[in-house]
Amino acid sequence: MTPDVVTGLMAETIKVTLLVAAPMLIVGLLVGVLISLFQAVTQIQEMTLVFVPKIVAVMIALVVSLPWIIGLMINFTQNIFASIPLYVK
């Protein structure tokens, strides 16, 4: 394995990790901003108001994006397994 192969594999791994985490992170961010905006407008400063909607929204995002995430992970894993002979050389 050359350093170029290792670097490429690491870059691909980081890319897949970011793609897998992105839907939940984006939904959590959007819901957090909307709730913060709601709290600022209504002057309700309850700390626990943020957690339940965020958790529900992130779980919904996970369920909705799960088929895409599974496909991405299967494709990545198949590419890794198919490339094992190239890594051993």
pLDDT band at 62 (very low <50, low <70, confident <90, very high): very high
Q: Tokens at residue 9, please?
A: 């594999």
Q: What is the pLDDT of residue 88?
A: 82
Q: Which residue has the tokens 């590419």?
A: 79
Q: What is the pLDDT of residue 73?
A: 96
79-88 pLDDT, tens digit per residue, is 999 988 888 8
Average pLDDT over residues 35-57: 88
pLDDT band at 25 (very low <50, low <70, confident <90, very high): very high
Average pLDDT over residues 25-37: 94
- How far, CA to CA in Å, does 88 sit from each of 6, 74, 80? 12, 22, 12
